[in-house]
Amino acid sequence: MTDQAQTSTSLLSRRHLLMFVSVAAGGFATAIVGLPLIGFLIAPLFRRQPGVWRDVGPLSKFPVGETSKVTLEDSSSIPWGGADSLTAAWLRRVDEQTFQAFAVDCTHLGCPVRWEASAELFMCPCHGGVYYKNGEVAAGPPPHALEQFPVRILNNTVQVEWRKLPDVAENCLHSKEADA
């Protein structure tokens, strides 16, 4: 009687041990493959692209009062990125020394706005957003003005800083504060 009970408990604990070993071994194998994989997969979420100044042309190329398209290359170095590494901006020469470089992304949903020179308006092809030449919202759904890249003049060359566009949410707050 006692012998039998002992056998069954020892059997049970032996089974428990085997189950534990199976699950633990499986868990270990999964973890040593899984954790690095997860790290590899989510790494792009934490990939920061620092700002970088890009030459866009000599000062003389941009007449005062006019707005023209310039192309900026981003700071990432994905060798097969091709044209995806390029960003366009609308560069407006306000006066001799002042420039504004607008991101082409409509602040509504990011469609590319066009500069309609004769009407002096930026117009979005998607949902009817319109901006004045200074980037302020003229009509339609955009929540705030066109975002801007920093511009500087260095040895008669105009430079625009490619950088990550500010978060829309932050900008909304700013424009609301400005309105108030």
Partner 1 sequence: MIQLLLKIWHTLDDRLGLVKNLKPLMDHRVPKESKWAYVFGSATLFAFILQVVTGVALATVYDPSATGAYKSLEYISRQATLGSFVRGLHYFGASAMILFIGIHMLRVFLYAAYKYPREGNWLTGVVLLMFTLGMGFTGQLMRWDQDAVWSVNIAARQAVRVPFLGKYLQQFVYAGDRLSGLTLNHFFDLHVFIIPGIMFAFIGVHLYLVLYNGISEPPKAGVPVDPKTYRRQYKELVKKNGVPFWPDAAWRDALFGSLVIAGIVTFAFVYGAPHLAPPPNPTLLNAEPRPDWYLLWYFAILAMSPHQLESGIMILAPAMVFGSMFALPFFFNSGERSLRRRPWAVAWVTIVVVGVCTLWYEGKISPWSPRFNAPPLPASMTASLNPSARRGAALFHDKRCESCHMIEGYGGLRGPNLSRAADRLNREQMEWRILNGGHNMPSFAGILKPDEVDDLLSFLHTRDFPSGSQIGSTQP
First-to-last alpha carbon distance for the chain, in angstroms, is: 88
Phi first, then psi, for residue 61 (nearest 5°) are: -75, -15
Q: Provide the minimum distance between the beta carbon of 122 and partner 1 in the complex, in angstroms, as a whole number.
A: 10
109 near partner 1 (CB under 8 A): yes
Q: What would the x/- binding string for partner 1 be over residues 155 to 174, using CB under 8 A? A: ---------xx-xxx-----
Cα(156)–Cα(171) distance, integer angstroms? 32
Please, which residue, 85 or 161, has the CB nearer to partner 1? 85
Cα(96)–Cα(118) distance, integer angstroms? 22
- Residue 68's H or E segment, with its range, is strand 67-73
Q: Which of 122, 125, 126 is nearest to 138 (CA)?
A: 122
Q: Which of 14, 15, 69, 174 binds partner 1 (CB under 8 A)?
A: 69
User: Cβ contacts of residue 100 below 8 Å, gap of 6+?
Assistant: 91, 92, 94, 134, 135, 148, 151
Q: Which of 125, 153, 154, 157 binds partner 1 (CB under 8 A)?
A: 125
Please, which residue, 12 or 139, has the CB nearer to partner 1? 139
- Site residue total, partner 1 (CB under 8 A): 52
Q: Provide the minimum distance between the beta carbon of 148 and partner 1 in the complex, in angstroms, as a whole number.
A: 16
The residues that touch partner 1, with contacts defined as CB under 8 A, are 44-49, 69, 71, 74, 76, 78-88, 104-105, 108-114, 116, 118-121, 123, 125-128, 130, 132, 138-141, 143, 164-165, 167-169
